[in-house]
Amino acid sequence: MSNYYSDSGPDFSKQVLEFGTIPAYSYDKGLAGELAAKTVSKKAALELYECMLIIREFEEMILKCRTGAYEIISDYSYRGPTHLSIGQEATAAGICGVLGTQDYITSTHRGHGESVAKGVIAINGMSPAELKARCPEFSDLSGQALRDAVMENHVYRTICELFGKEDGYGKGRGGGMHIADFRVGHLGANAIVGGGLPIATGAAMTARLEQETPRVVACFAGDGAYANGVVLEALNWAVQEQFTGEMAREPFGLPIIFCIVNNHYGMTGRAEDEVSGVDFLARRAAGFDMDMMHAEVVNGMDVLATRDAVLRAKELCLKGEGPILLEFDTYRYYGHSLSDPRNEYRTREEEARWKAVDPVDGFRAALLEAKVVTEKQIKNIEAKAAERNAKAARRAADSPDPDVADVIKYMYTDTSCDVVPADAAQVALYDEMPEVKRDAEGLVTYRDAIKEGLVEEMARDKRVVFFGEDVADYGGAFKLSKGLLETFGRDRVSNTPISEACICGTAVGMAMTGYRPVAELMYMDFTLMASDQIANQAGKWHYMVGGAVEVPLVYRVSVGGGKGYGGQHSQSLESVFCHIPGLRVVYPSNAYDAKGLFKTAVRDNNPVLFVEGQLLYNEKGFVPEEDYLIPFGEAKTIQEGTDVSIICWGPAVSDATIAAGQLAAEGVSAEVIDLRTLVPLDSEAIFASVRKTGRCVVVSQCIDIGSFTGEIVSQVVNECFDDLDAPPVKVGAKNGIAPQAHVLEKAFLPTADDIVQAAKGLI
């Protein structure tokens, strides 16, 4: 026990920390043993073999396509990624072979095999009614003909996605490196190495909260990923004591199986003997969990060894004893991609040693030796797999490309949660609702307006959860969430490790699997540590899967500029994220808007970056106690004017209002437009104002260079050129780094006087 828990005070006496053992290659049953013990049926064994065959045939098709050797589509020119997993079939088939349709997987850029396997296993387990529901076009079929047709459709849609076709699982938008099929629990392959682990961890958080549907998450990632920061963050996140210890209302570990598919090469570099200090990556588990995450090293070239390990891991997860870490020792026969000849960093002798234990050939021999099938029967199975793939490939090559008019279709969804499902509306409260104080005039601070919005949305919908650093007992760095823990409990309000990337990534996983997380990043500067999960994950999945999933989440980020916190705690970075398609970007300037826009953000089915100005937290305004929403994309006219338009957002609105007063004293009528949301942008409100006044000043607290103010000026020039009496101008922070010294920071940020001078310069 650590000194933290000692009742008698710190104990600094000499002691030794001990670690347990990790089993490796312990499987010794073999097919004959499994059949004798009735732990594997002949039918299941043949399905595993067929699954590996389908994967092998699919991958070899890609190889042949590059050289025109795949005869049935030799006329088709394939372009796209070629990350083959030939040699790794046993891991994909063995892991997915024990997962149900309700179980989730995430995969990698080399994830065709996992995608094929998840679909094949799911289809083999479907009833006739489920098969027809999946493919209504085959409703007139029955028996084996129905199953064969649905299986071919799975191969067809997988190839279509690889070929960038409209009939692909992601309508050709994501391609093979981002393939997903949410209908069978495949949450997506990920082209960012390690990018899927936080998403899988978030999906496991959903599974933990929804135990009435027992499910596990299997997270595939290669050996190269396990040197990646966000991967190690995800392991640390998954083992948190608050899931299983005294803090937990219902102790239950995250039901996730971290599957290290160790094919011994990251790209060309090796983990062992080169870029790692351990012989087995499973040793990583000792650094995260007292039980070492039940870690094990498995022969990944043996489909039955793989199946056995995952079956035991799944049982542990469903008993609440997860997470689990398994390292599958396997091999890829080809280079990182087909442009990599691999002869610069490995030998033919090495490849020959691994091919001698080929997973497909080895299991084929075992099936024949155990007399599960005859040679003739197994050849029929192999011929069928080849014919199915060829037929699907021809159809895919001939299938329609996406319509170029739809090039950015699915960038956003236009849906929102207008009605809460009945089960989600049953919200458990463990204490009285936190009260937001109003002063004698009924005014509320900006900070409390956001809090009231969050409380109302959490009371409305149990799928709304809130987490971040120090947000539970302490109430967050700015005390915005004080009292929420007592009301909603730790399952819905929780602290997190200091892991911004994992905070944002787990939110993506929860959003993909039915929840509506609100994640807090203490300072907007920290979004840069989490930018992959915000930009490449949250912002892109709806598009990359052709609208097959929505990602309803809110990232609350606060801007600390003006408080003397220096260069790493003061950046107004909303312009950066306006450049990332797929995200909504919201920045309210006052308490009334803060509550209404926040509630809209929670109900919107897109990922929303909700920016809060720390300088505004104590500003008061009138905020109705009743429920109200403010639509995105509707700017607000703060003050009417005729001589110049001042377009602004966030804290700059206060400065603009002051500037308008000063201008009025000098006889200049300024119109002030508060944009409220930058994405979507109310361009028409801007144009209408500029056409009326003929002059335009655009203001923000972002540094001037690269600011979103430049985008607005560009649009004004394009749309209102003939109405302008002077060139539009921008006002922003200096093109530098925010200083700590008060006098320097005052000079660094834009002021009302700066706005006045800019406006007068136009007139």
CB of 567 closer than 8 Å to CB of 738: yes
Q: What are phi and psi of 671, to 5 degrees?
A: -100, 130
Task: Output the furthest CA–CA distance in the chain (Å, rounded).
Answer: 98
Distance CA 558, CA 242 (A): 26
Torsion angle, CA of 507/509/513/517, rounded to 10 degrees?
0
186 is catalytic: no
Sign of CA dihedral 444, 450, 456, 458: negative
Cβ burial 69-100 (10 Å sphere, 16+ → b, else e): ebebbeeeebeebbbbbbbbbbbbbbbbbbbe
Q: Which of 83, 154, 264, 569 is catalytic?
A: 569
Query: Would you call 47 helix, strand, or coil by DSSP?
Result: helix
Sign of CA dihedral 122, 127, 129, 135: positive
Q: What are phi and psi of 593, to 5 degrees?
A: -65, -35
First-to-last C-alpha distance (Å) of the chain: 73
Region of residue 514 (phi > 0: left; psi between -120 and 50: alpha; otherwise: beta): left
Type of residue found at 744: L
Provide the token pair at 377: 């029967």
> 545 to each of 505, 541, 548, how far by Cα in Å?
18, 6, 5
**DSSP strands (E only) in 128-283:** 186-190, 217-222, 256-262
Tell me the helix, strand and coil percentages in the chain, rounded to 5: 45, 15, 45
Provide the token pair at 705: 């260079």
Q: Which of 114, 500, 671, 745 is catalytic?
A: 500
Type of residue found at 430: Y
Type of residue found at 196: G
Query: Would you call 754 helix, strand, or coil by DSSP?
Result: helix
CB of 461 closer than 8 Å to CB of 419: no
**DSSP strands (E only) in 643-687:** 644-648, 670-674, 677-679
Nearest to 217 by CA among 193, 240, 233, 200: 200
> 595 to each of 142, 446, 477, 590, 614, how far by Cα in Å?
55, 8, 19, 9, 15
569 is catalytic: yes
Give helix 303-318 / helix 30-37 axis angle, nearest 10°.
50
Distance CA 596, CA 381 (A): 60
Give helix 359-369 / helix 303-318 axis angle, nearest 10°.
100
**DSSP strands (E only) in 148-263:** 186-190, 217-222, 256-262
Nearest to 568 by CA among 608, 522, 612: 522
Which residues have a catalytic role annotated? Answer: 500, 569
